[in-house]
Structure 1
Amino acid sequence: MRDGTIVVAGASLAALRGAEALRANGFAGRLILVGDEPHLPYDRPPLSKHVLTGEIAPDATTLPGVGTVEAEWRLGVAARGLDRAGRALVLADGARIPFDRLLIATGARARPWPKPGEARLAGVHTLRSRDDAASLATTLATVRKRVLILGAGFIGCEVASSILALGLPVTVVDPAQSPLAQALGGVVGGFMAGRMEVAGVDLRLGTQVTHLEGDGAVRGARLDDGATIEADCVVVALGAVRNTDWLAGSGLQADEGGLSCDSACRALDEAGRPVPDIFAAGDVARVPYWLDGGRPVALEHWGNAVAQAAHAARAMLDGPEAAGAYAELPAFWSSQFGLNIKSLGLTEGADAVAIVQGSPRAGRFLAVYGRAGRTIAAVSVDAGRWLPAYEGPIRDGAPFPPITGGADQPDPDPVPPGLPAREAA
């Protein structure tokens, strides 16, 4: 079906690439993209890096291809409801947009500080949108004391790296025993902790902020160990919440962890049945992960948004059978503290990790993760040239560790990865 009306709820990376894929695959009907922000689709990775350091202006992050896709844009108005029976998207201004098929790409938002009064203090920021980055950059120009970052995940660590580049003192607080523990575990995270401290980060691990202090503007924070930190800027980096609130009452299987989909990216109803005219892609989509028994996974990866949007577009036009099951290998990258970190696969659930190339002492290495004797993921730190060799073993579930005996390899010695326990499905 290549005519009719397709509406895309969302106007970011997945939405744009989905629209492009629809047109490239012959969709000739009406195409409407709806976004809650007033901006055309833009690139998010620079927001925590080059935008904060002033190397790139916030309005210079617009994604290429925006001006060439044949579509109607409804920007600055959010989706507020879904009338499945009437096949219409309901907007915050009361407007209704009828559709024949719907692609949901509403993404995610930053998880706020849980105490609203403290979250409203001047100088308290989250970082997800272009406007967030512009606002934080403005505050950083006025910092006189210290920047406090709540959370040592990828966003928290990237922001810390950027703030140090500006010459500002920064403290990072996280209840885990290492930075990046949720994604990479304590072995690789322990290496990153050392790199961050050498760079000048005041790293407070195994503790957390109980409340923020200030009267109108933030002045600091109190930790659960009784310590206090003076800071006139706080960045809340506590993860993301998928934008599914607007789907309440729609009968779709959605919560703050994402919108559940089948392997063709079709949305599932509350009974677990695929809905034939509604699809999802990007951060909001919770899709079966083919390398882990079909466990539903929602990913916040740039490459996943692009590949999943293209897959959903094909399924919308040619049908789920023709598109087949979504089987992209998760991959992401991060640049921080002078290091380039890349990953293939998903580390979640790993019970062992081995350094198979280089060494943390040398500052460049590749770690491979295993579960139940099979290879499931690989992470490189300033060693990206070694990473492609592990794509095949990860896809095939090769014995762990999969590649040994190379001339430049250490003798792999698998150890527990220090990852948090996986939640029950």
Structure 2
Amino acid sequence: MAQPHRIVVVGTGLAGASAAAAVREQGFTGDVVLLGRDPRSPYELPALSKGILLRDADEPDWVRDEGFYAERGIDLHTGTDVRELHLGERVVVDGDGTRHGYDRLVLATGCAPRTLPVPGAELAGLRTLRTLDDALALRDVLGDGVPVVIVGAGWIGCEVAAAARKHGAEVTVIDPLPLPLHRTLGDTVAEVFRDLHARHGVTWRLGTGVAGFVGDEGVVTGVRLDDGTVLPAEVVVVGVGAAPRVELAKAAGLELCDSVPGGGVAVDASLRTSAPDVFAVGDIAAHFHPRYGRRVRVEHWANAKDQGTHVAGTLLGGAEPYTASPYFFSDQYDLGMEVRGLANPFTDDLVVRGDLAAAEFTAFWTRGGRVLAAMNVNQWDDGDALQALVDIQAAVSPDDLRNADLADLT
């Protein structure tokens, strides 16, 4: 594959910025153009629902220091919407009509918060959490005694609930599933998070759907449940997941994938799309993962960072597959946790090492005696061993997972 002279990256989140930085760090001396709609320099998302909402920080974690992009000759365009891809001409057209030619193109357009198609969804004041502006605006209204209703008991909903309770808000969380984080963690481990939030004063409305939002003079004032009950609220946060931004890819005729939740842009093991010299990374990439033998799409921080870095090698002529295990972390109240790997909590076997009641444990999900995923909760000494067990899908007995020195099992 001939070396490119000009690389264009669409998306200034962690994945896109990591790709632009990595090609420079790997010695590329041609043009690098980085285009994104956010008006700020590229930043990471985890702090939005953690340090910023908790008021422990006023800024996110920037992907690179101020000045990095100019110093490395990366042509960074913030506040720039890309509206068209012309693959045959190898041109990207931005919102001002400016045409950006490329030899290699990386799509890293990320996700957009999902909304609920219910009456009242158009009311002002319904909040989502995806950008720094979202986080700063939300934390300004979290205060002592403020009634907050959160729709959705996934990771974002739970982290927002923890931050709101720290600030003394009266928090109710609604979800149609029977437990928070149920799809990810299954029954037993999800109960730990239900009980954690209940101990900190969160009111759960689980197994309950939202029929609509109510308002006054065009501003939301409450949430109507499917049993007709209306929960008054000064703050309503909708945290029902995110949808990959695939509109550009679809309009350009790139192959999409509907076999992963939410869909995505189909890419091979090395992150190539169906079009020559076009790649996709991060939240939008439905990546064929060699270890799993199928496509997966991962929306978490580590995947964005690592795929962005990995694709630089492919852009410059490499062909190594991306094989990293999915990784995610969360902090809620005094509970910290990490998850490595990919499993189905409803069909795979759960093995628990430690004390669930004390929220100090490691959970393993196994299939056919092999470790597919591991989650450490308030235990921090075995990270390397857990990573190795998941990466090699180690064959380990339940008794050894519960009792043996984990480092000896790798």
Question: Taking structure 2 as the reference length, what is the TM-score of the superposition?
Answer: 0.91
1:131-280 equivalent positions in 2, closer than 5 A: 131-140=133-142, 145-215=146-216, 216-254=218-256, 257-268=263-274, 275-280=275-280
Asked whether the 8 Å contact 1:2–1:26 carries over to 2, the reply is: no
Q: Distance in 1 between matches of 2:96 and 2:397?
A: 55
Q: Counterpart of 2:295?
A: 296
Q: Counterpart of 1:45?
A: 46
Asked whether the 8 Å contact 2:353–2:401 carries over to 1, the reply is: no
1:24-423 equivalent positions in 2, closer than 5 A: 24-58=25-59, 61-69=61-69, 70=72, 71-115=74-118, 118-140=120-142, 145-215=146-216, 216-254=218-256, 257-268=263-274, 275-293=275-293, 295-320=294-319, 324-348=320-344, 351-399=347-395, 401=397, 404=400
- The 10-residue stretch of structure 1 (150-159 or 373-382) with the greater mean CA deviation from structure 2: 373-382
Asked whether the 8 Å contact 1:375–1:402 carries over to 2, the reply is: no
C-alpha root-mean-square deviation of aligned residues, in Å? Answer: 2.1
Q: Number of matched residues?
A: 396
- The 10-residue stretch of structure 1 (5-14 or 284-293) with the greater mean CA deviation from structure 2: 284-293
Q: Structure 1 residue 18 and structure 2 residue 19: aligned? A: yes
Asked whether the 8 Å contact 1:253–1:260 carries over to 2, the reply is: yes
- The 10-residue stretch of structure 1 (200-209 or 68-77) with the greater mean CA deviation from structure 2: 68-77
Q: Secondary structure at the match of 1:404?
A: helix
Q: Distance in 1 between matches of 2:401 and 2:364?
A: 15
Change (3 A) 1:104 1:407: closer
**Structure 1 residue 5 displacement after superposition:** 0.8
**Structure 1 residue 187 displacement after superposition:** 1.1
Change (3 A) 1:357 1:383: same
Residue ranges of structure 2 left out of the alignment (5+ in a row): 406-410
Counterpart residue identity of residue 190, structure 1: E
Percent same amino acid among aligned pairs?
36
Counterpart residue identity of residue 137, structure 1: R
Q: Secondary structure at the match of 2:382?
A: helix
Q: Distance in 1 between matches of 2:401 and 2:139?
A: 49
Asked whether the 8 Å contact 1:153–1:180 carries over to 2, the reply is: yes
Asked whether the 8 Å contact 2:34–2:75 carries over to 1, the reply is: yes
**Structure 1 residue 375 displacement after superposition:** 1.9
Q: Secondary structure at the match of 2:270?
A: coil
Q: Deviations over 1:338-363 (max 9, x none)?
A: 10011110123662343432111222
Asked whether the 8 Å contact 1:124–1:236 carries over to 2, the reply is: yes
Q: Distance in 1 between matches of 2:346 and 2:178?
A: 18
Runs (4+) off by over 4 Å: 400-403, 405-409
**Structure 1 residue 374 displacement after superposition:** 2.7
Q: Secondary structure at the match of 2:120?
A: helix
Q: Deviations over 1:384-412 (max 9, x none)?
A: 32343233332233335466176579xxx
Q: Secondary structure at the match of 1:170?
A: strand
Asked whether the 8 Å contact 1:375–1:401 carries over to 2, the reply is: no
**Structure 1 residue 145 displacement after superposition:** 4.3
Q: Distance in 1 between matches of 2:207 and 2:402?
A: 38
Q: Secondary structure at the match of 1:378?
A: strand
Change (3 A) 1:396 1:3: closer
Q: Distance in 2 between matches of 1:267 and 1:223?
A: 42
Question: Taking structure 1 as the reference length, what is the TM-score of the superposition?
Answer: 0.88
Q: Deviations over 1:72-107 (max 9, x none)?
A: 111112111210011011212222211111011111
Change (3 A) 1:65 1:276: farther
Q: Distance in 2 between matches of 1:405 and 1:367?
A: 9
Q: Distance in 2 between matches of 1:146 and 1:406?
A: 42
Change (3 A) 1:66 1:112: farther
Q: Distance in 2 between matches of 1:394 and 1:267?
A: 27
Asked whether the 8 Å contact 2:175–2:207 carries over to 1, the reply is: yes
